[in-house]
Structure 1
Amino acid sequence: MTSTPARWPDAAQAVMKGDLTVAAAYVTPAGGAVITSVSPLGLVDREAGRLSFTTSIGFPRKLERILRDPHVSLAYHTRDHGFAGNSSYVLAQGTASVDLRPSPERLADLMRASEPFLGRTKRGPVWDWLLREYHQERVFVDIGVERVALWPDLAARGTLTVTGSAWPRTPPAQEPPKNGTGPRVDVTAAVRQIRSLPHRLLAYRGADGFPVILPVAVTGHDGTGLRLDVPPGLLPPGGRRAGLLAHAFRPQCVGLGMRTFTGWLTVTDDGACYAPHTSKGLAAPPYKTLLTVSNGLLAKYGLWRARRDGTAARLERLATRGPVD
């Protein structure tokens, strides 16, 4: 992390404080990027140059990879159901640390921060028992911001403004995987799965190790993959591993859908083609009470499983040891 925190402009601050859902990307050991959606709940410390979001120990793969390689990026790509009024696309990149045992005070602050975004927390003896793990076993991912890139519109087009570290050089092409670069999941099925998910973003590992997250549009498909329309000049030529996210969400995240892919991106003079290799989906019910019950039960099960199979202890060891070179 740089010695001086990045100082981002007011337009970026408003977006960071107000967006309900953002895209988060981290890198893989093979040099790819995984991209998913998170709700950061306005957890911004501008003076310290820090952004935060929370997750659960029930999602250990994400935490393990961040602990091993802390290059993390957040893309503020939609104003849906949030509080920010401007139309800027904001990409924040930085070095992450993981707080596996947040203090009671920090957890209380999180609950207060969540209510404007997610609604009033349910209370009472039954709800307190059901939601105990969901509220009290949160894990914080804190990002020491090193660069903030801002475009004037949500399509990431127009003049780029960068604060903090300078925008890096173009990364070289990567070696293709041994199993080939073509699709390993049904492309037509993938198109069908994301048809109702309007927010689509692509992530790849930049030359300095930080994921670059860009909005994309799917303009067609064939046996070689998905045809992508991307902001001009922002995708490096050649082939590389990349992640793709398609998602949708409703007010207070009551009802959401998400499809994440890993795969191979090829950029030529003719355009960009994405060949999906893996595909995972997630859906949450559009009914708040049912969603709350599901969250509580999943948190209880996830914590029980993490303790039973040694995941919790493994994450503690990784957090103590620090990033792996």
Structure 2
Amino acid sequence: MTWPDGLVDVVSAHLSCEVATIARDGTPIAWPMVPLYLPERDEFLLTTSIGFPAKIAHLERDARVSLLFSDPTGSGSGAPPVVLVQGSATVEPEVQTATGDLLAHWARVHAVQPMSRLFSSTPPTRWFMDFYYMRRLIRVRPETVTWWPDRDTAHAPRRRQLAPVAPAAAPVPAPTHATVGDAEWTDLVRNLARFPDAVLNAYDDDGRPVGLRASPRVDHAARVLHWPGPAGVDVAAGPASVLWHSHDETMWSLRSFAARGAIAPGDDGLVFTPGGVLPGLGLSGPLGDGKVFLDARRRAGRYLSRRGLPRPRIPWDRLRVPT
């Protein structure tokens, strides 16, 4: 079935989207990623560095995935519809650097995020950041598209099935009962105040990951977040997470963090109980961000070592980045 009029243009214009994958414990976890829609295949190409392998492991265990196009910053689209794509993912087995569709991905990244060229601008940064260019390719087959023309998830969305829906790999897991301690709750509240809204990632009643952007209300006494109940989307009680992230018009000034926990029905919508905080970028200063990349470089080394793989040489000339 064909896409609804105009939605391909909407998703193609977005610099980033929130990609939800299923963690080992069954929690849907979202990541900001650069999407590339390939119309000739009707699929989305996503890539991730082997320095950040969690989403690879998630998708190799469970192919269910959702892509939420909810932040149009830098797209030049004004206030386009919010678009949720649910589908199945396939992860290509090879570690790639600059071959085939990955070249199209790099062209897209360099166009929408020109500051990322700093990673390859000098011999020292090429040495330190080479892991960033060691990629696994993820291909997402869209099955269902849901969209909110007025961007308000309190209003009923429109929906179209694009392809047969793959059966859920497992039932929705039971919710966890972990809660955050004093320090984590303080950090969470301090950091979420820096963002106007957030993305809730949970399951729908069909057992597929779903992303919903809204502005949660903080309940300090109960240490929960009250989430407006979405119209037309049935959110299942169970494990869930919340992602806060932002970027500027050139996809720089990146900031993000997340919390994992459980979602349940509440009196006026949904109630998210955080069970842990996941650190991200841009909230801990240069030293904190530097540690993120240093840890990623080390993870990439372990990834290659455990598989007996040599460290790939990056063909800088093929990437067409400044020397």
Give the TM-score band, short-chain normalised. Answer: 0.7 to 0.9
Match of 1:280 among 272, 278, 285: 278
Q: Give the share of equivalent positions with the same residue, in percent.
A: 22
| 2:321 corresponding residue in structure 1 | none
1:76 positional shift: 0.2
1:75 to 55, 62, 68: 68
SS in 1 for 2:26: coil
Change (3 A) 1:287 1:12: farther
Q: Distance in 2 between matches of 1:271 and 1:285?
A: 29
Q: TM-score, normalization: structure 2?
A: 0.78
Q: Distance in 2 between matches of 1:37 and 1:304?
A: 23
Residue 61 (structure 1) aligned with residue 54 (structure 2): yes
- 3-state SS in 2 of match to 1:64: helix
Q: Select between 188-197 and 128-137 the one with higher mean Cα deviation.
A: 128-137
CA distance in structure 2 between the aligned counterparts of 1:302 and 1:111, rounded to whole angstroms:
22
Give distance in 2, aligned partners of 1:167 and 1:88.
23
Residues 1:45 and 1:286: Cα distance change in structure 2 (over 3 Å):
farther
Assess, with a 3 A threshold, how the Cα gap between structure 1 residues 134 and 117 changes in structure 2: closer, same or farther.
farther
- Give the gaps of 5 or more residues in structure 2: 310-323
**TM-aligned CA deviation for residue 259 of structure 1:** 1.3
The equivalent residue for 1:112 is 107
Amino acid corresponding to residue 268 of structure 1 in structure 2? G
Partner of 1:234: 233
- Equivalent residue for 2:316? none
Distance 1:184 1:74 in 2: 28
Structure 1 unaligned segments of length 5 or more: list them.
1-5, 314-325
* Partner SS state of residue 280, structure 2: strand
Q: Does 1:149 align with 2:146?
A: yes
1:63-86 deviations in Å (ceiling 9; x for gaps): 111111010110000111223345
Classify the secondary structure of the residue corresponding to 2:250.
helix
Report the counterpart of residue 37 of structure 1 in structure 2.
32
Question: 1:90 Cα deviation (Å)?
Answer: 0.2
Amino acid at match of 2:45: S
Among candidates 236, 254, 263, match of residue 265 of structure 1 = 263
Structure 1 Cα separation of the partners of residues 279 and 27 of structure 2: 19
Name the count of aligned residue pairs. 297
Where 2:100 maps in the other structure, the secondary structure is: helix
Q: Matches of 2:308 and 2:55 in 1, distance apart?
A: 13
1:224-278 CA distance string (max 9 Å, x none): 41122242353446x3111111112223332211111110112134432111011
Which deviates further from its counterpart, 199-208 or 152-161? Answer: 152-161
Give the 3-state SS of the residue equivalent to 2:300 in structure 1.
helix
Q: Distance in 2 between matches of 1:227 and 1:207?
A: 20
Q: Offset of 1:212 from its aligned partner?
A: 0.9
Distance in 1 (alpha carbons) for counterparts of 2:280 and 2:106: 24
> Quick one: which amino acid aligns to residue 227 of structure 2?
L
CA drift of 1:142 comes to: 0.9
Which moved further from structure 2: 294-303 or 72-81? 294-303
| Shift of residue 124, structure 1, vs aligned partner | 5.7
User: Does the Cα contact within 8 Å between 2:205 and 2:234 map onto a contact in 1?
Assistant: no
Q: Give the drift of 1:26.
A: 1.0
What's the CA shift string for 1:3-49, capped at 9, x where partnerless? xxx53223221121111121110123443311221122xx1122422
